Amino acid sequence: CGLIIDADTLELRRDYVRFSRCRLRDTVTVDHTVAPREQLMRRARDGFCDWLPHAVLLDSQVNSSSTVTRNICEAALLNALRLLAFRNALTAELASTVCTDTATGTSAASSNATQNEDWSVFCQSA
């Protein structure tokens, strides 16, 4: 079920072992139909809730305060790492869509110019 139960205290934690068997960047998807900035904001907002869905992980009647804190910190860390993996995947995707004309030295954007403009705005704010 994705939870670790401490046999001595019966406290619950999320099991992150499955992430040790794969690269984190393989767990993120870049949606080409949505602007990069919107995707990143949505992931930042919703990512934490997606990785801490069990209310029992935050229940102080089940877990000690240190375990609740650990559960929150682990979920926040995973969300941050997934956001970084998403940003890196997005950078690679967008970098491959921009072509440079070696004769003139000018850049020509791919057919999706809106995404490239959004990406440049994101880079400036980061």
Q: Are 65 and 5 in contact (CB under 8 A)?
A: no
Q: What is the pLDDT of residue 117?
A: 44
pTM score > 0.75 for this model? Answer: no
Helices vs. strands in the chain: H and E counts, helices first: 3, 4
pLDDT for residue 10 is more than 60? yes
Mean pLDDT value across residues 64-91:
87
Q: What is the pLDDT of residue 66?
A: 95
Percent of the chain at pLDDT > 90 equals 15
Name the average pLDDT for the chain.
Answer: 74
Q: What is the pLDDT of residue 50?
A: 66
